[in-house]
């Protein structure tokens, strides 16, 4: 029995009793976690795949601890420029122990509405819809057409003066 779940934007394959590291969650150790996004579930004989998720399966877990992963070194260098930069990074995580995978509890059935209440509800909605469609938007003003630019007058050139002796 296993399930594919999504927590904090990442997908995990989980089995009952398994401990997994997920991106840091804002929960204290010992608190219960109920995974709401179950993407697929298999009981060993059949596989159910959600579109996009299953609502028929519940996965319960408990927060075990918080921690930080092994340090990763980030080294940057540009040759012949004298540039070197060394950084370390430790990603935080939350450990979750999967308690169990079980079918979801069925949702409470909705009360059947009487025919009279349906008629009243639909009658109340129709006038409001008519008012919305009856309202008109103000007409948009058309931009004024541009006038062609007037021709510029041509300047007359003065005759060149001859150099005198």
* In the chain, domain spans: 2-103
CB-CB contact of 38 with 98 (8 Å): no
How much of the chain exceeds pLDDT 70, in percent?
Answer: 65
Among 36, 24, 37, which residue's Cα sits nearest to residue 63? 24
What's the pLDDT at 103?
75
Give the lowest-confidence range in 6-10, 89-93, 157-161: 157-161
Contacts 24+ apart (CB under 8 A), 46-55: 53/6, 55/104
Give the lowest-confidence range in 3-7, 25-29, 84-88, 146-150: 146-150
pLDDT digits 0-9 by tens, 85-114: 999 999 999 999 999 888 766 655 555 555
> Taking 90 as the threshold, does the pLDDT of residue 4 lie above it?
yes
CB-CB contact of 62 with 33 (8 Å): yes
How much is the mean pLDDT over the chain? 81
For 80: left if phi > 0, alpha if psi spans -120 to 50, otherwise beta; the answer is left
* Between 138 and 53, residue with greater pLDDT: 53
pLDDT digits 0-9 by tens, 54-69: 988 889 999 999 999 9
What's the pLDDT at 35?
86
pLDDT digits 0-9 by tens, 104-145: 666 555 555 555 555 555 555 554 444 455 556 666 666 666
pTM: 0.56
CB count, 10 Å around CB of 96? 24
């Amino acid at each position: 029995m296993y399930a594919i779940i999504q927590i904090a934007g990442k997908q995990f394959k989980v089995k009952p009793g398994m401990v997994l590291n997920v991106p840091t969650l804002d929960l204290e150790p010992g608190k219960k976690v109920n995974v709401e996004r179950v993407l697929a579930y298999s009981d060993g004989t059949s596989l159910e795949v959600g579109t996009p998720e299953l609502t028929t399966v519940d996965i319960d877990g408990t927060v075990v601890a918080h921690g930080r992963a092994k340090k990763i070194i980030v080294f940057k260098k540009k040759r012949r420029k004298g540039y070197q930069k060394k950084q370390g990074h430790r990603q935080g995580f939350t450990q979750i122990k999967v308690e169990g995978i079980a079918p979801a509890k069925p949702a409470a059935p909705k009360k059947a509405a009487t025919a009279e209440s349906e008629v009243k509800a639909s009658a109340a909605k129709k006038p409001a819809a008519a008012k919305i469609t009856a309202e008109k938007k103000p007409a948009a003003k058309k931009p004024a057409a541009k006038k062609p630019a007037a021709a510029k007058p041509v300047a007359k050139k003065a005759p060149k003066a001859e150099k005198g002796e």
